[in-house]
Amino acid sequence: MEQQKIGISDIGLYLPHPRMGLDSLLKSRAVSHPELIDMLTRAIEKTDLTAFRFPAPWEDSASLAANAAAAVLNTIKPRLRALISATETAVDHSKPIAAYVQGMLERAAYGIGRNLATFEVKHACAGGTAALLAGCALLQSAGDFNDQALVLCSDISRYEAPSSAEITQGAGAAALLVEKNPRLLELDLRPQGYYSSDVDDFFRPLGSTTAKVKGGYSMKCYQDALIAAFEDYCSRLGRSPRQVLDETHYVALHVPFPRMPEAALTKLLSSVYGRDKTLMEGFLRRTGFLEAMYLNRETGNLYTVSLYAYIAALLHREWQRLGHDLIGKRLLMASYGSGNTMIVFSATVAPGAPEVISRWNFDALMKDYQNANFQDYLNWLALPRDYRIRKNLLEGANPRKGMFYLRDFTETGFRIYDRA
């Protein structure tokens, strides 16, 4: 008996309001650390980033996730069976972000119920994809029940500052509504390509607010993992790498910064097409891979959110270009997580996709920000880890109307959330 289709019916994105333009950061660093200007200028050119988002003092990974969830739940009557979070910037060593979000949604009368599986998944930036696959597996095992899963990807990336890495910071969240007979993307889960190895290209020690990264080595790990997982995917599918690429309309990769997936995809194409630049350039042109990174250029590295922010931007762009002809297009996805792992799988644009995408307000998502001044940015970098000190800062919280936010801490450090 043919297995019922399963996949993503909607994607809700949330980006915090503060935006740091890299031109503005460069001007400010020219005053505070003039000796770093040449290095920062080169870094901006090599990454192809223009800005990044960072959270307000009353925002964290849990509140970001709740706001992304609301963007999806505002349009449906939920039938949730699972609420799964994925992050590499958790707010608790024990309690998942999913549990905090459940409380926020429940108090806001979203009617999600309590007969839910709630848990958290981690493998750096690939955690969101692992959570998505877990959600699909839960629904597939549910038999004839018409359940849904909501996968929450949420992260706040931070690096040592001042440094060349600070331009790749970022913050945001994505909520993926997973169900049978999906309206947006039908996932083909029979073949999946995997690759994992234990490396130190990127990690964040316990107790550290900033990640440790070896830039050049991390790019090499990404490239090698992509080729290995793609070859595994093709082997499982029973198709040659050339056949798979020729049948692919779009490709989506994790985007820490645009030049990183560009280099990885170029190396993959070289391994398949050899030195034929015409074929390589043709693939990049017909898939619109480089152009679809317009959102990621403005947000910085969103970790678990990055791949799904790219997919949403790609689908929105192609819907504007093709309309209903977008239906049936095949999307090849490669999700990378440092440390490291790569997951390759595919999807087909579902018949209901044009209607879903038409409800997305991408213009508002792109334009709804506040250009932060340098002092706002420094205040975020200096935000204390000690909840007893941070508690005092929350007294001046000024969240936008309708937004979930971190309101307070109890005497023992438990986080209390509210909705403005």
Which one, of 131, 11, 15, 134, lies nearest residue 73 by Cα?
11
Q: In this predicted structure, which of 51-65, 123-137, 210-224, 286-300 has the lowest mean pLDDT?
A: 210-224
For the stretch 93-125, pLDDT in tens is 999 999 999 999 999 999 999 999 999 999 999
CA-derived radius of gyration, the chain: 21
Q: How many helices (H) and strands (E) does the chain have?
A: 15, 16
Which one, of 265, 187, 258, lies nearest residue 222 by Cα?
265
- Rounded Cα distance between 176 and 357, Å, is 13
If pLDDT is split at 50, 70 and 90, which confidence band does 291 have? Answer: very high
In 274-368, which ranges are continuous DSSP H helix?
A: 277-287, 294-299, 306-322, 353-358, 362-367
Distances (CA, A) of 168 to 51, 118, 140, 161, 403: 9, 31, 37, 11, 26
Contacts of 10 (CB under 8 A, 6+ apart): 72, 75, 76, 176, 177, 183, 184, 356
DSSP code of residue 60: -
Q: Cβ distance 188 to 345 under 8 Å?
A: yes
The reported pLDDT for the residue numbered 413 is: 95
The reported pLDDT for the residue numbered 276 is: 84
Burial 276-312 (b: 16+ CB within 10 A, else e): eeebbeebbeebbbeebbbbbbbbbbbbbbbbbbbbb
DSSP code of residue 293: G
Contacts of 190 (CB under 8 A, 6+ apart): none
Angle formed by the axes of helices 61-73 and 97-107, to 10°? 50
- For residues 132-137, give the mean pLDDT: 97
CATH number at residue 33: 3.40.47.10
If pLDDT is split at 50, 70 and 90, which confidence band does 370 have? Answer: very high
Residue 1 lies inside a defined structural domain of this protein: no
If pLDDT is split at 50, 70 and 90, which confidence band does 290 have? Answer: very high
- Rounded Cα distance between 99 and 47, Å, is 35
If pLDDT is split at 50, 70 and 90, which confidence band does 86 have? Answer: very high
- Report pTM: 0.96
Tell me the CA end-to-end span of the chain in Å, nearest whole number: 49
- For residues 297-303, give the mean pLDDT: 97
Residue 112 lies inside a defined structural domain of this protein: yes
The reported pLDDT for the residue numbered 175 is: 98
If pLDDT is split at 50, 70 and 90, which confidence band does 215 have? Answer: confident
**Which DSSP string do the residues of 359-395 spell out, in sequence order?**
T--HHHHHH--EE--HHHHHHHHT--S-HHHHHHHGG
Q: Cβ distance 133 to 84 under 8 Å?
A: no
- For residues 80-105, give the mean pLDDT: 97
Q: How many CB atoms lie within 10 A of CB 65?
A: 33
- Rounded Cα distance between 264 and 262, Å, is 5
Q: Cβ distance 4 to 181 under 8 Å?
A: yes
- Rounded Cα distance between 233 and 240, Å, is 10
- Rounded Cα distance between 18 and 16, Å, is 6
For the stretch 139-157, pLDDT in tens is 999 888 899 999 999 999 9
Give the range of the structural domain holding residue 142, as residue numbers without chain letter. Answer: 6-419
DSSP code of residue 300: B
- For residues 195-212, give the mean pLDDT: 91
If pLDDT is split at 50, 70 and 90, which confidence band does 6 have? Answer: very high
pLDDT reading at 1 higher than 50: no
Return the half-sphere exposure (C-beta side, CA atoms, 13 A cut-off) of residue 381.
16
**Strand 330-337, strand 250-253: pairing:** parallel
Contacts of 13 (CB under 8 A, 6+ apart): 68, 71, 172, 173, 174, 175, 305, 308, 309, 312, 365
Task: Quote the number of domains for the chain.
Answer: 1
